[in-house]
Structure 1
């Protein structure tokens, strides 16, 4: 699953992963409860005499299996919805565990199950082992499920202590092992979960760094090259409005030559901050395209709305300039602006060229001006 589909907060991710794992690991378990009961019943000494109860419990385990399969994860991955789903799914698990535990006890109490008692006991061991290793997400619930599987049978064996004490002791020892195994699986599961979360966060940080200009913290050219075609395609498909402003600082080389590159870098950073003050809507994507050239992608924005904001920025910069430490730098910028037009723009490249040509004309016509794309 792509990272974009994963919950971002640690707690939300943990419960999302738990729900995913719980669903995957319970899909086949219900089948084996049904098979174990059919084998225990059909290999008893009098399966016909047990026809009613045999069919009843077969239907019950088939119903539990069906409910597991039909219990789909919620469409919204909110922690509340996922927690509710987990609680309900564990309800199915615990009901199934209790029912099997009681059937195992019945097998050791009723003489007609003598030929198939070993099947019931081996199935109990298998189910409780699977519980210890496959469901360590919630240790308390895992322990409860193991006890529900195990204890009824141990009680039934304990009633006939003299005859079954060896088996009872063996199963009790194995139960202690299962509890230790569950505790270890619980620690390992959550350690793995934490590591997975850290890897995802690390990958997202690397992805953010690769798309962010290190000096101004705006999106970089790589981000623009990935984002721009997608936004143009969306505007094309949905007939939406998309405007692009290209900005170029006038005579920026003079600043580097007169004040040095350190002041030049701070000038670029201050220019980006000024952009944030004017183009401050959440839908505005601010980018540094390279050197002293910047861009703003404006979603759901008409050409006139974009022109007003771009002109506000140009006039603000021309009037106030930039204050860098003790220096006040008079500064202007040339701007090219255009809105996506399916008649003139056959592709993202064509749209960009129209706006880039407008920026070029702004510089050719004397700079410190905004030129609209033709």
Structure 2
């Protein structure tokens, strides 16, 4: 149980404090000004600087929704994953078809030369797909263009090979077998790759266009019939690719919306509804994170417990709506007193706030506390035609975290220091584990 001085008398003999319960004339301030938390949300918990000086994403448990760029990258990776199963199918099917139709005896240069060509192309595609995630991180646009170019090159290669068979051996088993295999590969590719806007139409066109050209150059009755059937086939491909494309992207956008809603709900659960600063649960999570981080780094960690002086008296004199306005203004003032993005202000409960200062020793924490005392003292609020000042007391505790210590003890030490500041006269700070009369600082009126 945290100890607090609960006396609300204008002259508190127990604490020796002179409480300004009277109404004084002070310039007005805006009551509904947006807080710093609303203008610059603090993602919970704060990200830790990395080796490059940047900041890693916030350690929220919910997933960060993908941006449009990330969705595009994900589409390329999904395409590569699906296409990887067919990378070495091209040389395998070509070799099987030519051996089954005894084409190797008639055109050995055609058969074995293209086995080598398709094999080399498959190796290049496999190596590129292996390095694709890293390439997408470094140069996403160039990496995507390279992947699409290799995919279309494979399709065009196979289409030209089918066209060559129809030109060299019209109406023979090799030509008809290649034509059926090509139709099957186009249908399979349309199903696997139809969600990718860059390959949705170019892939089947690259594979079928050479075949259509070969059929047009040799207008045999059978070829003309096949061309008519290919028109129906193309209409089917367009419709099926539309369904594949629609299903994929609707699923991706639905997932992103769900992630966004989950993140907003998590942020709402970690935010105090009145002051719009992080709440107690958010602070506990942040404290655990910073404690573990400083245990690894060996740095300092400071906690400031801030309590408004005689807040019950303010509520009784001016009403709870004015008290809410007071809490909002104090939350904003405390955040403005923090000088770094890693400093963390949260509402601890009631009229209490807690401040977490990573990589801050006792002297630095004391300077921040003095700035906060000044910021709160300068606050002025108006209730109807009357204006009132507010003050606060602050307990400061600093430690070098170790695994054999507890983070809760640091908060308890800050609470003990706050209790000392209250007994020392309020409107002041006190450092933990030191005599309050020798180490407390009073802000003069």
After TM superposition, the structure 1 = structure 2 runs for residues 235-274 of structure 1, keeping only pairs within 5 Å, are: 235-274=294-333
* SS of residue in 1 equivalent to 2:405: coil
Number of aligned positions between the proteins: 371
Task: Report which of the two structures shows the higher radius of gyration computed on alpha carbons.
Answer: 2
After TM superposition, the structure 1 = structure 2 runs for residues 161-176 of structure 1, keeping only pairs within 5 Å, are: 161-176=220-235
The whole-number CA distance in structure 2 between the counterparts of 1:38 and 1:31 is: 11
**TM-aligned CA deviation for residue 32 of structure 1:** 2.2
CA 1:324–1:135: 2 relative to 1, 3 Å: farther
After TM superposition, the structure 1 = structure 2 runs for residues 288-307 of structure 1, keeping only pairs within 5 Å, are: 288-307=347-366
Deviations 1:273-300 (A, max 9, x none): 1112211421111111211111111223
* SS of residue in 2 equivalent to 1:245: strand
Partner residue of 1:350? 409
Partner residue of 1:70? 127
After superposing the two structures, state which structure 1 stretch, 342-351 or 138-147, moved more. 342-351
**TM-aligned CA deviation for residue 83 of structure 1:** 2.3
* SS of residue in 1 equivalent to 2:179: helix
Deviations 1:200-223 (A, max 9, x none): 221211111111111111111111
The whole-number CA distance in structure 2 between the counterparts of 1:92 and 1:362 is: 71
Partner residue of 1:22? 79
**Contact 2:337 2:368 (8 Å CA) reproduced:** yes
Deviations 1:228-257 (A, max 9, x none): 111110000111232221111122111122
**TM-aligned CA deviation for residue 49 of structure 1:** 5.2
The whole-number CA distance in structure 1 between the counterparts of 2:67 and 2:238 is: 28
After superposing the two structures, state which structure 1 stretch, 301-310 or 64-73, moved more. 64-73
- Does the alignment pair 1:124 with 2:124? no
Partner residue of 2:204? 146
* SS of residue in 2 equivalent to 1:73: helix
The whole-number CA distance in structure 2 between the counterparts of 1:324 and 1:19 is: 58
**Contact 2:362 2:397 (8 Å CA) reproduced:** yes
- Does the alignment pair 1:12 with 2:69? yes
Q: Out of 231, 237, 242, which is 1:178 matched to?
A: 237
CA 1:207–1:20: 2 relative to 1, 3 Å: farther
Partner residue of 1:275? 334
**Contact 1:314 1:368 (8 Å CA) reproduced:** yes
**TM-aligned CA deviation for residue 96 of structure 1:** 0.3
**Contact 1:241 1:299 (8 Å CA) reproduced:** yes
The whole-number CA distance in structure 2 between the counterparts of 1:182 and 1:225 is: 50
TM-score, structure 2 as length reference: 0.75
The whole-number CA distance in structure 2 between the counterparts of 1:271 and 1:306 is: 18
Q: Out of 327, 331, 334, which is 2:390 matched to?
A: 331
**Contact 1:26 1:68 (8 Å CA) reproduced:** no
Partner residue of 2:102? 45
- Does the alignment pair 1:84 with 2:142? yes
After superposing the two structures, state which structure 1 stretch, 227-236 or 3-12, moved more. 3-12
Partner residue of 1:203? 262
**Contact 1:243 1:299 (8 Å CA) reproduced:** yes
Deviations 1:151-193 (A, max 9, x none): 2223333414213333332233112210222234334433333
TM-score, structure 1 as length reference: 0.89
**TM-aligned CA deviation for residue 45 of structure 1:** 1.7
- Does the alignment pair 1:322 with 2:380? yes
CA 1:98–1:325: 2 relative to 1, 3 Å: farther
- Does the alignment pair 1:105 with 2:150? no
* SS of residue in 2 equivalent to 1:366: coil
The whole-number CA distance in structure 2 between the counterparts of 1:343 and 1:137 is: 52
**Contact 1:19 1:82 (8 Å CA) reproduced:** no
**TM-aligned CA deviation for residue 75 of structure 1:** 4.1
Unmatched segments (≥5 aa) in structure 1: none
**TM-aligned CA deviation for residue 353 of structure 1:** 2.3
Partner residue of 1:54? 111
* SS of residue in 2 equivalent to 1:346: coil
CA 1:24–1:364: 2 relative to 1, 3 Å: farther
**Contact 2:194 2:242 (8 Å CA) reproduced:** yes
**TM-aligned CA deviation for residue 90 of structure 1:** 0.3
Larger RCO, structure (CA 8 Å, separation 6 or more): 2
Unmatched segments (≥5 aa) in structure 2: 1-58, 434-445
The whole-number CA distance in structure 1 between the counterparts of 2:110 and 2:286 is: 64
